[in-house]
Structure 1
Amino acid sequence: MDELQDLRVLRGLHVRPAGRMGSEEIDARVGTIRDVGRGRRVVKSLSTQIRSDADTLSVIKNNLDRNIYVEAGAGTGKTYSLVERIVALLTGGVKIDEIIAITFTRAAASELRSRIRARLEELRISDPENDRIRAALEGIDTAAFQTIDSLVHSLLREHPLESGLPPAIEAQDNFAKMQMFRERWRQWSLEQLEDGTGFSNTLAMAMRQNMTNPFATLSDLAQSINEKHGELRGADFIQPDRSGIRTLAKLGPLIDDAIKHMQRCSDSEDSLYKKFVEVVDWYTSSVKDRVCETEDEADEILATWRGTNASGGRLGNWGGNAGKAAATESLKTVVDAVNEAHAAAREVVTAKIVDYASEFVNSIVDERRRSGSVTYYDAITWLIDMLKRNDGVRTSIQNRYRRVLVDEFQDTDPNQVRLVRLLTIPPDQSEISPGSLFVVGDPKQSIYRFRGAQVSVSQAVKGEIVNDGVGGRHVTLKENRRSTNAIINWVNHVFEEWMRSETGQADWIPLEMAQDTAQPESFGEVFHFGEPMDVKNVDTVRQADAQAVAMIARAVCTGALQVRDRRNGEKRCSSPGDLTILTRARTNWETYTREFDKLELPYTAEIGGAEVLSTQEFRDLLNCLIAIDDPSDQPGTVGALKSTYFGCSDVDLYHWAKAGGRFSCTSDFPNAAGADVVRDAMRELRRFNELRDNMQPPVLIETFLRERQARELMFLENDPAPGLRRLDLAVELTRRFTDEGAASLRECLTRFSH
């Protein structure tokens, strides 16, 4: 059995104390575990002596006039290396207000500031007369240790006129941005429709071309452009060549030729013959005898084309190979000509939709610029533009901030890298100034690609630093301080196979356990258990697997195994809190819990990841949110009504439907007897539907849960804790989605579904 596939672990199942087993039973069970564990290690020791990270840290602290790219693996001390570099700069004569340190989160910025302060305090104790340390401590509270968005907005506030902004600039959050977009979109689209000119014609043309809901498509496109408006600035869109009139004019002779070939077919049921009939009928009813004076008229005709191909047909029905080949070629000539013209007509409509979307976005972006209420993307785009065109401002900022340090560099996006380069490359130079840039990250941990982060971008900066011609360095930190040797060896064994540059991943750099945190070899071992089973029934395999896990769990609960105490590193007997079991799928989880129940082992089972979305608590809540956000979604509304939040029965729904009620909270409510239960629920859904545009999604959900007493309902369960945590998780995930740019409830629901 493959060693990795045979690892079975169960997510979040914490076992509480159980009754103690008899000594003979413990010895028998533990003996089995030890035989499996000691005799079947997943990975033999792979440790080889490598150069200590002390040399790398020496480079970080001493090569202050060199640009450095630090690639630091998991648990090797990325933040520590950043702190050591900054402290070395400060004690080496660089002033604290000459340093920019960019972190990924505000929490990370706060932690960095605290750790630098603590390190400086240590140094002040040993050298109380050092003026550099004293000055650094005095200025640390106002130092530019901040997130990229905070840095961007602060630089714009210092140079508003040069960037074309008013003196008072405020950051517009995602919710405010979405509200502004919605309001301006309603106003702009109404004005366009009332104007009665090209906008209405474009929508009508799109509908004729069978585009689904072109108005919604235009809105979605405008929203996408609004998010990244700088990427389209100056773009030159090639207008498609309109060939409708020319194509329709030449169809007559082509159709005549097609009819001649069609008449040679001996079977009217032949599949190719039917396609001939379809094409000829379309030409006769839609094209023949029609005179087109404009391309728009030709596009209207082409919009009736439903498309086909020139495949199929039996050789015998067409007089053999030659006859069928000639017929196929004749039909193909017609089909290709119409398809090409039809595609060009759709491209014309698409181009017009893009033009309108761009026109609207330009108006709303200009409004944000005039008002000074700017989004993060606005701010970084306009700051980059200013630094590119204004060498004086760029030089001034570079003279003020001589050193730029970036944490979590693997998650930077192209705009952030452009800004870093503009802060470190003088206007009259093409290379980064020596010693001005220090970045630390781990491309193997890049997790924000959905926000635009690109490993290739950070890797390009690494090459730029190494090849700067003045001794730039790429160094690595490999010594892990969070785990044990056996676990590190196993991780290396696995990821060396999975992470290779030729597969689009960053190459895996093997980790090594730091010598100053070394633990006895017996601590933190990795085992696999179980034997190959010659069965095809997966349930049988799961059952055997679950029995083995339950046996280990009981041994842990009874103190039959030895573990390392985290506080002092000494061995002690195992206890229930030492066990956490993880599983990839809920089907495995349910099998495990049955075995735990058989052994009378109390446990708390947590469902995480995508499995949470399949729980009843989540399904009920999501149905309510769907009904609130999209009243036209009738299945979602029915699910909300039948949820624990409203408790409508099938009989209630029947009376509602019989009274003429629709399953939409924005429709009219019947007053018939027997419909009152659903009517009250619908009123609540309508009230929250009206609130959704005025509340941030996490606030809306928290308000809904509180008013519907969702948490109180959890106490009707035997164990309310799991349900309570899942409700809290729903709010927390929504808050995370909004922090990542999802400003509307619909966007949050879309992320839940993905």
Structure 2
Amino acid sequence: MPQQTMKMSTNPIADMSFTGLHWIEASAGTGKTYTLSSLMVRIFLDRYMPNQVIATTFTRKATAELKARVRLRIEETRDFIYGLLAASQDELAELQQSLSDPLYQQVLKDHGHHLDYAYNRLNVVLQQYEELFVGTLDSFSQKLLREFAFESGRIEQVQISDDEDLHIERIIHDLLRDWIQQQPAHLIEYLMLNHQLKGPEYYLGVVKESLNFPSVDLRVPELPENALALFEAMCHQLAQMLPAARVELAACFDAASHYKNLVDARRFNKGAFFVTFNTRIPEFLQHFEAAGSQGVLTQSDVLQPTMKAIRSLFYDPNKTEFKPRVFKDKIVEEQPDVSKEFYQHAFIQQLRAVLSAYEHINQAEQYLNFYLAQEVKKRLPQVLSHAGETTFSQQIRTLSEALQQSSAAGKDSFAAHVLARYPLILVDEFQDTNQDQDDMLSSIWRVKERLHQGCMIMVGDPKQAIYGFRGGDMLTYRKARHDIQAKGGRCYTLNKNHRSVKNLVEVVDALFHRQMDFGEQVEYTPIQAGEREHPPLIDHEQVNPKPLRWLALDETLNEAEQVAWQIQSLLNQAQQGHLYFQDNNTQRALTANDIAVLGQNHFDLEQVQQCLLQLGVPCYKASRDSVYKSSVAQDVAALLTAILNPYQEAKVKRALLSRLLGFDLKQLVALEQQADGLSEIIEKLEQIRQIWNEQGFRSAWNSCMTVFQVWTRLVAGQSRDNERTVVNLRHIAELLSQQSEHYTGAHKLYQWFIRQINLGINNESTQERKLTGQLGVQLMTIHASKGLEFGCVFLLGANAGLSEKGNLNFSLKDNQQKSLGLERVIAVKSSDLPEDDIQQNDARNEAEHHRLWYVALTRASYRVYAVLRHHEVEKKQLAEARSGLTFWRGSAPDLFQHADSADADVLRAAPPILTQTQVEAVVLEAEEIPNSHFYPRETTSFTALTRTAHKAHIQRDQLAAVMTEQEDSAADEVEQLEIIEADTAEKISWIKRHFPKGTKPGSFLHKLMEKVRFSTPEEKLAKAIASRFHSDVEFDSPQMLQNLIKQFGQTANPEQDEAELIEEMQEWYSQIIHTPLHDGFSLHQLNDGEYRSEMDFHLSMADRALAIRKIRLLFERLNEPDLQIQDLNDVFTARYLTGSIDLVYFDGQRYHIADYKSNFLGDQTAHYDHTYIRESMSHSSYWLQAALYLVALHRYLKAVMKDYDMTQHLGGASYLYLRGMDGQSDRGVYHWKPADTFIQNLDAILSEKVVAKT
């Protein structure tokens, strides 16, 4: 489908409908996050709840920002709607026309007639907001495999490996050892002498790079199996031909021959051509005849110069194509026979054959790289699986394969389950998606037959695809876009830059218009300035003149020094009042915090950092160091060693001398001289060790910090490293705490920590964190700056050449079975690759280079300084004419010209450092400490509220942990035995009397009522009940059945006894569903779709301690003496009440709840009259349970029903005491319908609103 036929829109906030496929291309600065957060508000208002939506982006930092921005946008929209609840329709229509916010316009358009519903729905969305998944695709795949373990067929529990590099290095080590043993000894010696065989760590780069592309196979290089024999044969033939060649090619061996005037002297300077024939070749053959090929291969001082000299006869330097250039161009044109005769001579042909055989040997290094990469790709999953571990990339591949296998088998149940659970997904930064990730996404949300069942929103910008080294591939992006087009998806584009001021947007847009083709079929999209208001930057009474400035350096200027001087100059101007932001009537001087320096590598940035520090300019560059490489990590290791080995004095002394415990040698000697000095320390360490073994790492760590006053010691003295030490220590403690959940036992956690230190694991989670005082000029790589915004930006090396990237060569080949008819091909880099493949790889790198500089140039809000380096060599200038920003700027006479672009004046000396103006000190007054306390959002439940008071007192400090436990369905049931004196009283049936009592049997009955449909035909009911006994193994139901059969024991045939017992259960179930609940209504009247079993809920409560006393007073006001609740436990930290309603049903008029109780009240039918049931409900506080569940149902109905009326729609609570239900009378059932005001007041107490009078 041609691209132009794809539906286009520039306003996705208003135009998007949330079904099918949607593609948003968001150029830099066009308000992508604003658009996505607005779309999420519409999604929640129009169709889905948070637990049905997935949002993914590229980094964990971006996910946190996106989730925060979405929440803020929901709150803003809710408050906007709240302010309009009293407005008339005419006022709303007039307001809609005047609004500039597209989201608010659309909200009024879609929900103007029922704003109260929209307001209530957004409140519910905010209450359930934590159920929204916002994360990376890696974490999402982990979530899917965990939630759909059965459907995916991956039920084994694995964790993300922290030792991936270690596993890879071990595999490489084993592979290298095996490969070396299989090769001839002289080949290995040759590779070693020529530095072509290295240690396992050397090959990590190419192996890990290949693992970023798991779905693409490496091109298999030619295996140099017979290379040594071929080389020896070719050399032997050459030696035999040498005497004749001295005669036939005498001119080549004589420096005074006529060839002297024919050979190209620029290529063969200083007689190199004659040296090759006179010296190099004869000496090489002499060594060959003396030592053979095995010997000569190890003599690199002879072999290497000879092969290099022979190669120069056939190839241009650094080129792979055959291009004979021995003779001068004039000779080749005027006397072509000279060159022809030379190259056709048998000796010259044999020289080329020797060179070819030699290069064939050198392919061993390329083959070794391929062999290691390919074998690691095969073996790593097996090694990880054996260790019970996986990696994010392996996890995505596992998920993708499971989806594809399910689809290939004609069973799309896995993908269909995921789609039903999460019908909408929003994928941000789609341009950085790799093939496995896209395969996974397309298998779920882009299946043509299921497009109407869900919605997929893909957001990205191909111009910002700069993470090819992490697995991103523009071919994947192009294939996905083609797929969207073919399936009728809709495309949107954001074309207004809100980040930058208007004149900067216009000049940058004009620059990119000079070359709109970025390469790899990525085209620049014209951009306009957005409506965002920026405070003007005033520069010497002008509004931001020349926002794009070119800083061209000459040979006398140092780049880092010049940039530092320019920044100091800007700060001086700001200090003098010449450079400031005018925000309404206030002026704010430009500061170092408004400036950023971006570069392609860390070395250049570190040079600028040094120059800035010398000038005293505050600056910050994020640390690349691992916290495991810090001295604090060594001290923590020493401390943990002492804790685990408290009686080994040497280890204890090492811990004491660490900065954590703060002893010096003098203090340690004094401690040893005390009678109980060291023994007291040992005793404390032993106590901490016991705490670690009994209560876990966190308790032991906190105890250690307190006992030894570590935090106080660290900051006791003045040191510039204090904050770094504290931050690193907290960071390490956090990492250890996280891992303590995965490693059982103190020694295993300790061994893990020591291994991290030895390996120096360095990734996003282990890099040293930013300190609070690290402000000033931001220095970062262009890659790291993606998505960020700065006021003024300096771009280092804006005309720097393209550096060699990676160990792999990327190319494409035709394959009509693939999308777009193309297939990605990857090979280990080598000069022996086809020239077309090398050119394709160069073009790919060049295209990504252009995209990198697009990202760099679009970071600034006000001004850009592009630093152009001086190139002394003319050839280098020509080679870099298309590098960096010169790709668009051009060169004379076609140099970029624009009214808002200019050359900046270079500085020849460091500007003076102006002292800061003394500002009058502001007197700070502390506010009073608030009386309100804020608590974490934990959960509680009815069961936790009604636990016995003495148990609550013991566990109060651990309340949050207890509250979040998974409770059994029958956890709140209490057996209550009552005896009736009359012996002749009617008894309940045998099965009701003898069915086991307790939590597990009760939970089994709950599960039976949940799983067996009320409409099940009589002839199928016995089979359905029997299947529950055999399948609900978590309740020990098979053993329960056997015990019942033994008690039943009517016949000698167990199978017959089981059949009769199932008949008893069938009769009991039938009595339950036919017993009238209220107004003659019973469960057997319910059709599928008129009820919902096991309805889970999270009821939001106020951000403070639950008002238990108010709840008791509310029940006392009912003035019903036999309707009581027991003492309740205090709840301080819970902010959600969780529960599961056994049954919610609709009787045709109202919605009711039902709760199944398996409580044994006695063996007489009279024990289950209303009097006894009310007493049981008071004894177990079931009245409170019923009331809480009705509040939950009330809130739910209010959120999902547009015309909800409590009086009309909310029913009561039916308590079903299953053992007493006989199918005819109302025994075993009690239906309670409290007044609406009672439910409203309880709702108000939970949410801490003003309580109305009952």
TM bin (shorter chain): 0.5 to 0.7
* Map 1:665-684 → 2, pairs under 5 A: none
Are 1:57 and 2:39 an aligned pair?
no
Indicate the larger mover: 383-392 or 208-217: 208-217
**Partner of residue 275, structure 1:** 276
Cα offsets for 1:730-751 (capped at 9, x unmatched)? 9xx9xxxxxxxxxxxxxxxxxx
Give the equivalent residue in structure 2 for 1:669: none
Instruction: Determine the structure 2 residue equivalent to 1:71.
Output: 25
Determine which structure has the larger helix proportion and give its number. 1
- 1:74-114 superposed Cα distances (whole Å, 9 cap, x missing partner): 33321222223233233222343332211222333233334
Whole-angstrom distance in 1 between the partners of 2:126 and 2:504: 40
Are 1:201 and 2:201 counterparts? Answer: no
- Deviation of 1:366 after TM superposition, in Å, equals 0.3
CA distance in 2, matches of 1:227, 1:551: 43
Q: 1:347-358, aligned counterparts within 5 Å?
A: 347-348=363-364, 350-351=366-367, 354-355=370-371, 358=374
Distance, in Å, in 1 between the alignment partners of 2:367 and 2:579 is: 70
Q: Which amino acid aligns with 2:189?
A: M
Q: Cα gap change, 1:64/1:548 in structure 2, threshold over 3 Å: closer, same or farther?
A: closer
Q: Distance in 2 between matches of 1:544 and 1:298?
A: 53
The one-letter code sitting in structure 1 at the alignment partner of 2:13 is: L
Deviations 1:552-609 (A, max 9, x none): 76664344677422xxxx144564649966778999989x999xx9xxxxx8424677
Match of 2:436 among 415, 433, 436: 415
Give the structure with the larger strand fraction. 2
Name the CA distance, whole Å, in 2 between partners of 1:530 and 1:96.
44
Q: Aligned letter for 1:605?
A: V
Question: 1:138 Cα deviation (Å)?
Answer: 4.5
2:129 partner amino acid: I
Deviations 1:347-367 (A, max 9, x none): 356536644664455444302
Taking the aligned partners of 1:67 and 1:494, their CA distance within structure 2 comes to 34
Query: Which secondary structure does the structure 2 equivalent of 1:417 belong to?
Result: helix
SS in structure 2 at match of 1:263: helix
Deviations 1:398-437 (A, max 9, x none): 33322221112233233332322222233xx599668622
In 2, the alpha carbon distance for the partners of 1:503 and 1:228 equals 23
Counterpart selection for 1:466 from 447, 461, 485:
485
- Contact 1:563/1:571 (<8 A) preserved: no
- Which of residues 33, 38, 56 in structure 2 aligns to 1:84? 38
Pairing 1:525–2:543 present: yes
The residue correspondences of 1:302-701 to structure 2 (distance < 5 A) are 306-307=306-307, 308-309=309-310, 311=313, 326=341, 329-348=345-364, 350-351=366-367, 354-355=370-371, 358-359=374-375, 362-391=378-407, 392=411, 393-426=414-447, 429=448, 436-468=455-487, 470=488, 472-497=489-514, 500-503=516-519, 506-515=522-531, 517=533, 525-528=543-546, 556-559=574-577, 563-565=581-583, 570-573=584-587, 575=589, 577=591, 604-606=616-618, 692-693=757-758, 695-697=760-762
Measure the CA separation in 2 of the matches of 1:129 and 1:531: 54
1:242 aligns with 2:229: no
Equivalent residue for 1:178, pick from 165, 176, 181: 165
Q: Secondary structure at the match of 2:425?
A: strand
Q: Report the equivalent of 1:154.
A: 143
Which of these two proteins has the greater Rg computed from alpha carbons? 2
Matched letter for residue 53 of structure 2: I
Instruction: Please state whether the residue corresponding to 1:275 is helix, strand or coil.
Output: helix
Q: Which amino acid aligns with 1:177?
A: E
State the superposition RMSD in angstroms. 5.8
* Shift in Å, 1:139: 3.6
Partner of 2:895: none
> Could you say if the C-alpha distance between residues 211 and 150 of structure 1 is closer, same or farther in structure 2, counting changes exceeding 3 Å?
farther
Whether 2:133 is the aligned partner of 1:144: answer yes
Instruction: Provide the residue aligned with 1:107 in structure 2.
Output: 61
Paired AA for residue 693 in structure 1: N
- Whether the aligned pair in 2 keeps the contact of 1:299 and 1:345 (CA below 8 Å) is no
2:758 alignment partner AA: D
Rate the CA distance shift 1:448–1:431 in 2: closer, same or farther, 3 A. Answer: farther
Taking CA–CA contacts closer than 8 Å with sequence separation of 6 or more, which of the two structures ends up with the larger relative contact order? 1
Q: Which moved more, 1:485-494 or 1:347-356?
A: 347-356
Q: Secondary structure at the match of 1:216?
A: coil
1:263 aligned residue: 247
Q: Distance in 2 between matches of 1:58 and 1:238?
A: 57
* Cα displacement (A) at 1:157: 2.2
The whole-number CA distance in structure 2 between the counterparts of 1:343 and 1:415 is 36
- Which residue identity lines up with residue 98 of structure 1 in the other structure? Q
Contact map agreement 1:556 1:578 (CA 8 A) in 2 = no
TM-fit CA distance, 1:474: 1.9
How far does the alpha carbon of each residue in 1:38-71 deviate from its partner, in whole angstroms, 9 at most, with x for none? xxxxxxxxxxxxxx998442113xx323422212
**In structure 2, do the counterparts of structure 1 residues 397 and 208 end up closer, same or farther at CA, with 3 Å as the change threshold?**
same
The DSSP-based 3-state class of the residue aligned with 1:389 is helix
Q: Specify the alignment match of 1:679 in structure 2.
A: none
C-alpha distance in 1, partners of 2:144/2:492? 31
Residue by residue over 1:325-350, the C-alpha shift from the partner in whole angstroms, topping out at 9 and shown as x without a partner, is 64553332111111222233333565
SS in 1 for 2:514: helix
Helix, strand or coil at the partner of 1:437? strand
Change beyond 3 A, Cα 1:56–1:201: closer
**Secondary structure of 2:18's aligned partner:** coil
What percent of counterpart residues are identical? 17
Find the residue that maps to 1:390 and give its secondary structure: helix
Change (3 A) 1:232 1:588: closer
Aligned pair in 2 of structure 1 residues 551, 119: CA closer, same or farther (>3 Å)? closer
| Matched residue SS, 2:24 | strand
Distance in 1 between residues matched to 2:451 and 2:548, nearest whole Å: 56
CA distance in 2, matches of 1:343, 1:546: 49
Q: What residue identity is the alignment partner of 1:90?
A: F
Q: TM-score, normalised by structure 1?
A: 0.59
Instruction: Name stretches of at least 5 consecutive residues in structure 1 with no aligned partner.
Output: 1-51, 598-602, 625-687, 706-710, 712-720, 734-754
**Alignment partners' CA distance in 1, 2:501 and 2:373:** 56
> Secondary structure of the residue that 2:23 maps to in structure 1?
strand
Label 1:301 to 1:353 Cα distance change in 2 as closer, same or farther (>3 A). Answer: farther
Q: 1:497 to 1:352 in 2, by over 3 A?
A: closer
Does the CA-based 8 Å contact 2:206-2:369 persist in structure 1?
Answer: no
1:586–1:607 contact (8 Å) kept in structure 2? no
Give the structure 2 partner of residue 16 of structure 1. Answer: none
CA contact (8 A) 1:286 1:304 kept: no
State the TM-score, normalizing by the size of structure 2: 0.38
Structure 2 unaligned blocks of 5 or more: 1-7, 86-114, 256-271, 314-325, 599-603, 632-752, 785-1254
